[in-house]
Amino acid sequence: MNTLLRSTALIALLAGPAFAQDTTGDEPTDTAPAQEETAPESAPDTAPETTSEETPETAPSDESTPSESSDAETGTDSDTATDTAPAEQDGTNGSGEETAQDDSEPEAPAEEANSQARISSDARVPASGPDWPSFHGQVSGAKYSPLDQITPENVGEMELAWRYETGDVSDGSGDLPATVWSATPIYANGLLYIGTPFYRVLALDPATGEEVWSFDSQSTLEALTQPALKNRGVAYWEADEPVEGEACQKIVYLGTMDARLFAVDADTGEQCENFADGGVLDVNQWNTVNDRWPLSLLQPPTIVGDHVVIGWAGNDWDWAEAPPGSIFSVNAQTGELEWTFDTIPEEIREKTGTANVWTAMSADEERGIVYLPVASPSPNYWGGNRTEDIPYATSTTALDVETGEVIWSRQWVHHDIWDYDINAAPTLMDITVDGEEIPALMQATKMGFLFVVNRETGEDVWPIEERPVPAGDIEGERYAETQPFPTKPAPLLDQSKLPDVWWLADVASFGACSKLWDDMVYEGMYTAPTTEGAGAGAYPNSAGVVQWGGVGFDPDKQLAVVNLSHVVQHIQLYERERYEEINGEAGPGESGFHPQTGAPYGMSLQTALNRWGMPCWEPPFGELAAIDMTTGEIAWRRPFGMSQRYGFYMPEGWGSPTIGGPAITRGGLIFIGATMDAMVRAYDLETGEELWSDITEAPSVSNPAVYEHDGAQYVAFVSGGNSILKPSVGDMVSVYRLPQQ
């Protein structure tokens, strides 16, 4: 027994800190690990019906480690909207069926009838090219390259072509906040463009990594809305018919935490004087309601034709009243505001907020539709200030890109009190189901659901059912009676029950994990936040099963690919007086506590770890999976990555929590970083077999880019790190190719 305890203590020492990291802000929390190795056969028919009602008298137990707020999910918006943007919808669920409760998918207002009645199109997702001109490769969100030089047969020969270190990095130990860098490189105009967390743009030679030009926005390096300096890269636009000799016919856009959007000439790096105010758009000019923080531009805008569609991030964990989540479209060359879409009904904007878009969007350019993954309203874990309908919150909403008018909207969580933000761009795909060709859209979620609908109409491809969920015990709260459950594909994990206690962690903590399981209230994934016991078990939780890297799609094989995490947390509400007593002198977001100022309850979000920092639930902690989109069935899934600390690796069969996402090629490969071991890997698309790997400076918490330059295929990874995974940051770009002949 002594030997066993020594062994478990060693494992805890190595693995624990990696699972104990805290995050707050705009990117979803991704602390966690583990559950079952296989997906459940189906979603539970009904969730348990009750929760208990006792208020705790003591602070959370030592057996849990706090986790700070989501790293990309908080945000908010401006209040001003143009007349063209509808403020609300009422009604049906997008498939024409009435929902069982009133915070459901909205019915289109009469003025939107023309948009709703659009004639269906035979247009398919445009074929991908050899460039990688947007965050997800294509504005469709497919993360797919048609390049096939590198194959399962030769990928093992792939070698480093070049590396580049930006110098824009901080571990937070000095005067600057830590950096969180999850940028995807953009390949366009014969150059590789990268945005940094110091809010610079680098233009590099794609074959050598030599700097061609750089641009410094000279923005303030302060953590205004996030706990760290963050950047997910840049966006690129070019004119359909560039005018020779004129500047800014090709533009690179960079957003900053202080809510400014810079436009620079893609050839020279000089600011575009005709864009907004001398090349800078002040997005904060539209921040007029509950303007507690700037509308941080951490995610690059989405470019659709000549439209620059802008979402933003904020800090809604700590406030009930927050900026309302508006989305803005501006002209690509002039920066002139074209339309604003408001997600929060005007009559309640003063008392709530957010429901913003802080992650990437996607678009069907042929149909003129932009798809918004919309976050939850504020505050995240209490909704007594917003008992009215907010139909666009926690939804996928399709807008006419020319006008900002709603075409359809599907709400995936009714009255969201779990911070289940829609955190990834929907993936557009043309699929064949039962012999019928369908223009589809897949929306991955934090809940581990993959909702598949017709992207023209929002109607179900496979049935999506409203099922009863439990109510809670908080006075003044509203509880949705039902929630949407997809029937296919099956949920990525079984949310009907908590995963089993990991015996190793339980033994190492002398049964503390088992005790925590007994003290948590858990009646399925929609267990309401409570003051009782150790709080409501959260599985999944706001960290999310799927992160902003989203789902990749191979249009030839009709295979979807997704990386996922398993994590157990628990949410505890505290009456205001009790919260102030327990939280003591800790500031907002410290130690997993969040005041939810303006609400009668503060809260804490804690990861279910033992006192050594070991996850209390069974591995694996992360997986990679492929779904056959002709049937909706899992094609394969496997543990993914290795948990790692101080150079020691945990068994690969345990997997790793993941942040970031895949890139897929016609060559039959999946390229991905995303794991805490700082490895970048290649997998066989058809089998899931790992074929190649390399170690980099820090976890690559972004999507790779795949491009062709001068006849050679390259794969580019950014290794910026994220304290969600482990206290390791980096500033490295690593680019690979086959050996040159």
Write out pLDDT tens, residues 437-460: 999 999 999 999 999 999 999 999
| Per-residue model confidence as pLDDT tens digits over 610-655 | 988 889 999 999 999 999 999 999 999 999 998 765 445 677 789 9
Q: How far apart, in whole angstroms, are the C-alpha atoms of residue 479 and residue 529?
A: 11
pLDDT value of residue 542:
83
DSSP-derived secondary structure letter, 642: B
Q: How far apart, in whole angstroms, are the C-alpha atoms of residue 706 and residue 144?
A: 8
CA atoms in the 13 A half-sphere facing the CB of 376: 29
Helix or strand or coil: residue 519? helix
Write down how long the chain is.
741
Q: How far apart, in whole angstroms, are the C-alpha atoms of residue 298 and residue 307?
A: 18
Q: How far apart, in whole angstroms, are the C-alpha atoms of residue 302 and residue 311?
A: 9
| Beta strand 191-195 pairing with 186-188 | antiparallel
Q: What percentage of residues in the chain have a pLDDT greater than 90?
A: 74
Report in angstroms the alpha-carbon separations of 260 from 183, 276, 339, 561, 662: 18, 11, 18, 34, 29
Confidence check: pLDDT of 177 > 80: yes
CA atoms in the 13 A half-sphere facing the CB of 278: 1
Contact 495, 525 (CB under 8 A): yes
pLDDT value of residue 218:
97
Beta strand ranges found along 196-300 (DSSP E): 200-204, 211-216, 229-231, 235-238, 250-255, 260-265, 280-282
Transcribe 663-725 into DSSP letters.
EEETTTEEEE--BTT-EEEEEETTT--EEEEEE-SS---S--EEEEETTEEEEEEEEEE-TTT
| Per-residue model confidence as pLDDT tens digits over 90-128 | 333 333 333 333 444 444 343 343 345 467 888 999 999
Where is pLDDT greater, at 116 or 427? Answer: 427
User: pTM for this one?
Assistant: 0.87
Where is pLDDT greater, at 118 or 528? Answer: 528
Handedness of CA 123, 128, 132, 138 (dihedral sign): positive
| C-alpha closest to that of 714 among 210, 146, 161 | 161
Contact 346, 87 (CB under 8 A): yes
Identify the active-site residue in 419, 473, 519, 731: 419
168 is catalytic: no
| C-alpha closest to that of 69 among 319, 394, 347 | 319
Minimum mean pLDDT among 20-29, 38-47, 398-407, 495-504: which range?
Answer: 38-47
Average predicted confidence (pLDDT) for the chain: 85
Q: How far apart, in whole angstroms, are the C-alpha atoms of residue 257 and residue 254?
A: 10
Span 383-403, average pLDDT: 97
Q: How far apart, in whole angstroms, are the C-alpha atoms of residue 723 and residue 172?
A: 11
Contact residues for 336 (Cβ-Cβ < 8 A; gap 6+)? 276, 330
